[in-house]
Amino acid sequence: MDFKDQLKSSVDIVKVIGEYVRLRKSGVSRYTGLCPFHSEKTPSFSVHAGHQFYKCFGCGVSGDVLKFVMEFEHVSFPEALKLLAERNGIPMPKRAEYADADTRLRTAVFQMQELAQEAFRDQLAGSSGAEARRYLEKRGVAPEVSAQFGLGYAERAGRSLLRACERQGFTAEQMEASGLFGKRDDGALYDRFRNRLMFPIHNESGKVIGFGGRALDPGDEPKYLNSAESPIYKKSAVLYNLHRAKEGIRKADRSVLVEGYMDVIGVSAAGVREVVASCGTALTAQQVQSLRRHADKIVVNFDPDAAGANAAERSINLLLDESMHVRIAELEGGLDPDEYCKERGADAYRAKLDKAQSYFYWLADRARARFDLRTAEGRMAGFQFLLPAIQRLPEKIERVAVANDVAGYLGVDAGLVLENFRKAAMDRRDKKVAPAREPLRADERILLNLLLSDLDAREGLLPRLERLPAVEQFATRRIFKALFALHANGQFGYEELHARLEEGDQELLASAVLEDETNTSAMTLQLGEECLRSLERSGLRTQVSALKARVKEAERAGSLDEALRLAEELHRLERSG
């Protein structure tokens, strides 16, 4: 067994994928969830615990646990191996074949982030970090909270991280790619972060991929500076704190979206674990999709100032486009989430989240503040302002209810509102595509699954099936042929079988296995026997009627010897049945 197989046999695909996607059990060994590779509202993504593969009926992706990690984390095969091995405490063999140039660069970039985090942490604890520690104290961040979030301090001097990386033997090319350094016109590198409070940013599996740095000197611009994009850090794809929050998001069945690092830390320290922030960018569809894999409800709680409100307004349509159920929390007294938790306490903050209103009411209030609803023009403008958001309402019932609300709020005609909903609903229908596929015959499906899962069935049924002409009529005939060949070689496994098939048949195999999971009937050898017998009988019937036809033909042609020979054959066949 090579390392890949060894690793695969010691990890559970359901557990691994379950870290990224909320999976529900939907069959004996089948789990389903929302596909992480395309945007969808109803789950078409399945994981099979028995045969250890995943498949999406929406976008067609499928594979084993390593393929999933490669595709999801955008990593190479050796990196996926390493990641899974590390996460499961399995030692990696040191083999040069597991490293191409790209992988080596990414590995180096990952290592530099760790080196940087250590350096920043040391500097925060050291003499140069006194001012940063005072700032944290002033903001009410307890030392244990600071440690939990891995906060650090980047010194003013400006070359200490550079030196540390050089000492570790990283090349200039690797350092330039790390996102941690700037480059002067003469080509010399320098530390990107100087005199800043440092927040490590992690990917969903919990590895540091970059940093956000907050200026401590009021004169320093920008106030927040992020790592430059690197082979491992793409701003638009990352949410701050998601790797810690995903557990909480699933438990609470909602996420809380705030604006900044300090908000996440303050809110999380107050016991609201499901909190994340988009760091250094406006919210992106990719970020929303990564939230939605854990829960489709979200409470948006941005800063109370105009910039925060505008950002919230912009994020609403994006969230609705990804079918999120959106509520907006508003905090009184001009406090941001962090300040609110500290001044009013965790319980008061939690109550604010729980009582947060649907985005629609929040938007309607904004419309009322912005437009003069006493005039007809103002009402129309308000309606136009609300339209994009309310058109995105997912449920029909909700739309009707809201139509009345909107009409009442704005004093416009309810019919006009409904007409616009109807148009939007029709647009949505046009966009929908439903992949339809003919279901497999029950006997094929039963036999296939039985043979895949039961050695006795293979021993007992395969030799008989091989002789059966009816197999030629199966949609899955090439799968059966591959099964026969594998069995003859004395080896067997879902994966070996899958590897032998063309793409179309691989698809068919996955469907047959997953469809079977929706069927509750227990798969027994006896059931397989019955299927086989009925196939044999129907095969016999086909043969008998074919022979009868040939006898008649021979008689008509006057070849009586031939007719007689065929009749005897027919007689033998009928007796054998």
Binding site for Zn ion (CB under 5 A): 35, 37-38, 56, 58-59
Instruction: Give the shortest CB-32-to-Zn ion separation in angstroms.
Output: 12
Three-state secondary-structure class, residue 35: coil
With respect to Zn ion, which residue has the nearer C-beta, 23 or 269? 23
3-class secondary-structure state, position 523 = coil
Closest distance between Zn ion and the C-beta of residue 56, in Å?
A: 3
Kind and range of the H or E element at 256? strand 255-258
Residue among 56 and 154 whose Cβ is closer to Zn ion: 56
Name all contacts of 310-317 with Cβ < 8 Å and 24+ positions apart.
311/259, 311/282, 311/283, 312/362, 313/363, 313/366, 314/282, 314/283, 315/257, 315/282, 315/283, 316/359, 316/363, 316/389, 317/388, 317/389, 317/392
Closest CB 341 distance from Zn ion, rounded Å = 38
Of 49 and 56, the one with the shorter C-beta distance to Zn ion is 56
Closer CB to Zn ion, 35 or 65, in the complex: 35
Distance CA 166, CA 178 (A): 13
User: Residues for the chain: how many in total?
Assistant: 577
- Nearest approach, Cβ of residue 512 and Zn ion (Å): 19
Measured from the CB of residue 69, what is the shortest distance to Zn ion in angstroms? 16
Is residue 554 within 8 Å of residue 566, measured between CB atoms?
A: yes
Q: What whole-number distance in Å separates Cα of residue 74 and Cα of residue 93?
A: 22
d(CA 154, CA 192): 9
- Min dist CB 283 to Zn ion, Å, is 22
Nearest-10 crossing angle of helices 477-488, 503-518: 90
Contact assessment for residue 303 and residue 277, using Cβ atoms and an 8 Å cutoff: no
Task: Determine the Cα–Cα distance for residues 336 and 142; give it in Å rounded to an integer.
Answer: 19
Spatial distance between the Cα atoms of 4 and 125, rounded to a whole number of angstroms: 42
CB of 39 to Zn ion, least distance (A): 9
Tell me the residue number closest to Zn ion, measured at CB.
35
In whole angstroms, the minimum distance from the beta carbon of 506 to Zn ion comes to 16
Closer of 113 and 511 to Zn ion (Cβ): 511
In the structure encoding, which two tokens stand for residue 451, read together? 């043979």
Bridge partners of 200, per DSSP, are 211
Strand partners, 240: 277
Q: Which is nearer to Zn ion, 62 or 146 (by Cβ)?
A: 62
Residue 513 beta carbon to Zn ion: minimum distance, rounded to whole angstroms: 17
* Residue 254 or 293 with smaller CB distance to Zn ion: 293
Nearest Cα residue to 537 out of 503, 492, 576, 507: 576
Which C-beta is closer to Zn ion: that of 57 or that of 211? 57
Structure tokens at 11: 């990890």
Q: Which of 290, 221, 228, 282 lies closest to 37, judged by CA?
A: 290
Q: Between residues 44 and 301, which has the closer beta carbon with respect to Zn ion?
A: 44
Secondary structure of residue 37 in the 3-state scheme: coil
